[in-house]
A and B are shown apart, each in its own frame.
Chain A
Amino acid sequence: MQSSETVLCQCTALQVSYGRRRIIDGCSFKVGQGQVVGLTGENGSGKSTLVKCLLGFVRPKGGHVYCDPRAGYCPQENYLHRAYTVAEHLELVASLHRGGLRVDPSFLARCLTLLKLDRYLRYPIRRLSGGTYQKVKFLTAIVHRPPLLVLDEPTDGFDWSMYLVFWDLVRELVAAGTGVLLISHLVHDRQRFDRIYELRDGVVHG
């Protein structure tokens, strides 16, 4: 893995609260170009809230945040439009040029094949299995080949082979310079990270 000085995502003394409850209390960490950074922690420790705050979905109470505006994001929630087909969803996503990024049709076609999604293009999203749904979410996050990827438990529901395909694709993007921030509960993911941060009691340890 390369260790470049280019920082794609950084927060300093970040504080986030929901009402009176302080979720994040003084987090500081960064993700650089070509790095795979793991974010771990107990259920409910605030990992998803932290990445939402980095991406601008949640307003922080204090601290400083920087995040590359072209970041790709795979949220934990099942947000996909149930009435659309996979093809319609991808057509809409491909028409959006986040931060000026464009979709390379050949990369999209290759991802569809690797993720075995090509056979599901005409399926309504509401009829997809959990793993296939998750693959569509992951593809949506990477389809623009963003310089920063923020993935919140992206492999939930993947079978073994798909888990390996997932890491092959991540490695390919990282080799091209993408920085990755990945929330994971899988112990065996640890060996794949360049750095691991653990969120405990609202503070990042790592």
Chain B
Amino acid sequence: MVDRASSTGWLVFRLSTLELWRNPLGMVLLVVIPSVFIAMILWTAGTGSLPLKLYFGEEVVEVLLTQRQTALVFVCAAVSGFLAAYYALVLFHSDLGYFRYCSFMGLSPLVFTLARFAAFLLVTSLLAAITATGLGYVTPLEQPLLVFAGFLLITVIYGAYGGIVGVLSRSFMPALLMIVLLADLDAAWLQNPVYYSAAQESTVIQWLPAFYPCQIVFAGAFTSRGNDAALAGAATWAVAAIAILVLAVQVRLRGPLAAGPAGRFDQ
């Protein structure tokens, strides 16, 4: 039974990876979009210094950074977040009817979710690695591995969010707008360290999903300290988001099949 599930899981993973690979324009844009953002910052950002507050659990650390450094790191984190959400939205929304049929044929929703999400993670870790490496070329990073971990965690959390919205929404447009709402509000705006440092209600910002991964990225980029508090917070968000995704897929793939129609009887 376990062997069968793992072999089907491997097959879904392989086919999902192939599916992503066969969309060359999507793959190219995954690299081009962060590059365009980085280029725009290098072109437009000033070199004046800004005082920023970074979250280290109970402790708040203040650092003095240039506008360019700040913008480069923040924008890369934000772009990783919303690109992951859009990508996962497409991956989990399109062809859901096919996988619903496969579920009818015996495909386990859990196997489907984990295999498809693993294929997504393979691509987004590539994105995180490319972004972290590219960032390292244009601005000095204190701890490149921690920066990579932060990028990866934001792609996991926002990827799961994109998957949840993609699975639960029957049409594409509302799902897309839900991604725009949260990703733009959280990852692309409120987690801006300049905005966060001067915010009068920073607690609200701390409750948003991109907060901890962004703080991991900032800690890795600008300090030589680890950030266990942010790592724990981000890991909690990631686990919770994946668990909700698994549940959402279970509901949509099995739907009435799982519950059985009312009044179903055996001979």
- Answer whether A80 and B98 are a contact pair too, CB < 8 Å, given A95-B7, A97-B4, A98-B106: yes
In the bound complex, residues from chain B placing their C-beta under 8 Å from that of A58 are 256, 261
B201 contacts chain A at the CB level, 8 A cutoff: no
- Contact string, B243-267, partner A, CB cutoff 8 A, digits 1/0? 0000000000001110111111111
Among B12, B101, B106, B257, the residue within 8 A (CB) of A75 is B101
In the bound complex, residues from chain A placing their C-beta under 8 Å from that of B172 are none
- Answer whether A57 and B106 are a contact pair too, CB < 8 Å, given A66-B267, A79-B98, A92-B11: no
A89 to B124: give the CA distance in the assembly, Å.
Answer: 25
In the bound complex, residues from chain B placing their C-beta under 8 Å from that of A7 are 267
A174 contacts chain B at the CB level, 8 A cutoff: no
In the bound complex, residues from chain A placing their C-beta under 8 Å from that of B15 are 84, 88, 92
- Asked if residues A81 and B104 are in contact (CB atoms below 8 Å), the reply is no
- Asked if residues B11 and A66 are in contact (CB atoms below 8 Å), the reply is no
In the bound complex, residues from chain B placing their C-beta under 8 Å from that of A61 are 262
- Asked if residues A91 and B11 are in contact (CB atoms below 8 Å), the reply is yes
A60 contacts chain B at the CB level, 8 A cutoff: yes
In the bound complex, residues from chain B placing their C-beta under 8 Å from that of A60 are 261-263
How many chain B residues touch A (Cβ–Cβ < 8 Å)?
32
- Asked if residues B12 and A82 are in contact (CB atoms below 8 Å), the reply is no
Among A53, A66, A83, A95, the residue within 8 A (CB) of B22 is A83
In the bound complex, residues from chain B placing their C-beta under 8 Å from that of A57 are 104, 255-257
- Asked if residues A56 and B105 are in contact (CB atoms below 8 Å), the reply is no
- Contact string, A101-113, partner B, CB cutoff 8 A, digits 1/0? 0000000000000
- Asked if residues A56 and B260 are in contact (CB atoms below 8 Å), the reply is yes
In the bound complex, residues from chain B placing their C-beta under 8 Å from that of A73 are 101, 104
How many chain A residues touch B (Cβ–Cβ < 8 Å)?
33
User: Which partner residue on chain B sits nearest A15 by CB separation?
Assistant: B263
> How close is A90's CB to chain B, nearest CB, in angstroms?
11
- Asked if residues B11 and A59 are in contact (CB atoms below 8 Å), the reply is no
- Asked if residues A81 and B106 are in contact (CB atoms below 8 Å), the reply is no
A10 to B107: give the CA distance in the assembly, Å.
Answer: 25
In the bound complex, residues from chain B placing their C-beta under 8 Å from that of A83 are 18-19, 22-23, 95
- Asked if residues A95 and B8 are in contact (CB atoms below 8 Å), the reply is yes
Report the 4 A-B pairs with minimum CB-CB distance, sorted nearest first: A96-B106, A98-B106, A81-B98, A59-B256
Q: Provide 7 A-B residue pairs closer than 8 Å at the C-beta atoms, listed in order of the A residue.
A: A56-B260, A58-B256, A64-B263, A77-B97, A83-B18, A92-B102, A95-B8
Binding site for A on B (CB under 8 A): 4, 7-8, 11-12, 15, 18-19, 22-23, 95, 97-98, 100-102, 104-107, 255-257, 259-267
